[in-house]
Amino acid sequence: MTEKTTSRKPWRINWLFTAGFFTAVYLLALAIYLIPETALCGADGNLVQRLLACRSFNELGDFLSRAFAPVAFLWLVAAVFIQAQELRAQREELVMTRQELANSREVMKEQAEQARNQALQAQRQADFIGEQTENLRRQSEDAHRERQDRVFEELLQATHRESLSKLSGSEHNVQTNAGLNLSRFSDFRAQSSEKAFSDLSSHLEHLKIMLRALSPTANWRLHMPPLVELCNSLNIIVAMERNLSPAGQVKMNSLGLKSIQNSIKEIIDIESEFNSKQLTK
């Protein structure tokens, strides 16, 4: 806030009135002086007529020039002072104008500063809202990933409990050119999920190697429905990878679920191709 200061204007002499006053006083004094002067002439009439009658034209001209010289000088001085007053007033107006312009600049600076502060405050509020929105989005994503992790754990346990249990202890005979290979899946029911999927991955890798060397005339027996069911379960679990938290993705990779899924698909393809060849014979 700017404090309003009231300044009293300096007292100024009205030189026009002053010159007129002194002129009137001078003329009055001149008239008083001329009354006894013209009375000595013995002329009749008013003061002007007696003055004209008492003096010749030359004397009258000299008298008037001498009489009105002080009046002319008085008005000359008054004109100089009047002009000086006007110049002083113009200078004061210029000073006031400059002061008003300076005040206007200060007000504009204050307004610009306020506008800048308001813009900064608005930017801070926008940044704060953006941060809050980003935090809410992250919290929502984290909550979604936590839910997906729980679903992942539940599906993993269900797959271990159901699909792997059906494979537990099942035998498969693969006849290769080197002879008959008899193998059996481990008992996954008594193992933890990590151990069960690790043993399954190793067993499937070994089984793929044997199937690649499968004899064209082989008569092999492999119970496929549990493997197909396990592959379907793994398809659902692996499809969740992008929605899992980093910890969930690390666990999926450590269990080798993608490798197990690919191995089962390859075994299913080999079995389908083998059966197709057997049908065409």
The verdict on residue 201 lying in a domain is: yes
Residues 160 and 110 in one domain: no
pTM exceeds 0.75 for this model: no
Averaged pLDDT, 167-186: 69
**Whole-number Å distance between alpha carbons of 257 and 198:** 9
Domain count, the chain: 2
> Which tokens go with 260?
């197990």
> Which tokens go with 57?
């034209």
The verdict on residue 2 lying in a domain is: no
The verdict on residue 169 lying in a domain is: yes
Residues 158 and 246 in one domain: yes
Residues 156 and 263 in one domain: yes
Distances (CA, A) of 87 to 16, 80, 186: 16, 10, 116
pLDDT single digits (tens) 87-113: 988 998 999 999 999 999 999 999 999
Question: Are 51 and 35 contacting, i.e. CB atoms less than 8 angstroms apart?
Answer: no
**Residue 281: what pLDDT?**
57
The verdict on residue 139 lying in a domain is: no
**Whole-number Å distance between alpha carbons of 90 and 85:** 9
**Residue 50: what pLDDT?**
61
Domain region containing 215: 148-280
Q: How confident is the model at residue 279 (pLDDT cuts 50, 70, 90)?
A: low
The verdict on residue 129 lying in a domain is: no
Residues 179 and 67 in one domain: no
What is the number of other CB atoms lying within 10 angstroms of the CB of residue 201? Answer: 16
State how far Cα 254 lies from the chain centre: 44
**Residue 30: what pLDDT?**
78
Question: Are 179 and 203 contacting, i.e. CB atoms less than 8 angstroms apart?
Answer: no
**Whole-number Å distance between alpha carbons of 91 and 107:** 24
Question: Are 172 and 207 contacting, i.e. CB atoms less than 8 angstroms apart?
Answer: yes
Residues 52 and 91 in one domain: yes
Residue 174 or residue 270, greater confidence: 270
Per-residue three-class SS string for 178-226: CEEEEEECCCHHHCCHHHHHHHHHHHHHHHHHHHHCECCCCCCECCHHH
Averaged pLDDT, 160-167: 84
Q: How confident is the model at residue 3 (pLDDT cuts 50, 70, 90)?
A: very low
Residues 200 and 238 in one domain: yes
**Residue 4: what pLDDT?**
46
Q: What is the full DSSP assignment across 86-128?
A: HHHHHHHHHHHHHHHHHHHHHHHHHHHHHHHHHHHHHHHHHHH
User: Which residues partner with 173 through β-bridges?
Assistant: 182, 221
Mean pLDDT of the chain: 81
* CB neighbour burial string for 244-278, b if at least 16 within 10 angstroms, e if fewer: bbeebbebbeebbbeebbbbbeebeebbeebeeee
**Whole-number Å distance between alpha carbons of 234 and 252:** 11
Q: How confident is the model at residue 184 (pLDDT cuts 50, 70, 90)?
A: confident
Question: Are 231 and 264 contacting, i.e. CB atoms less than 8 angstroms apart?
Answer: yes
**Residue 2: what pLDDT?**
42
Residues 111 and 30 in one domain: yes
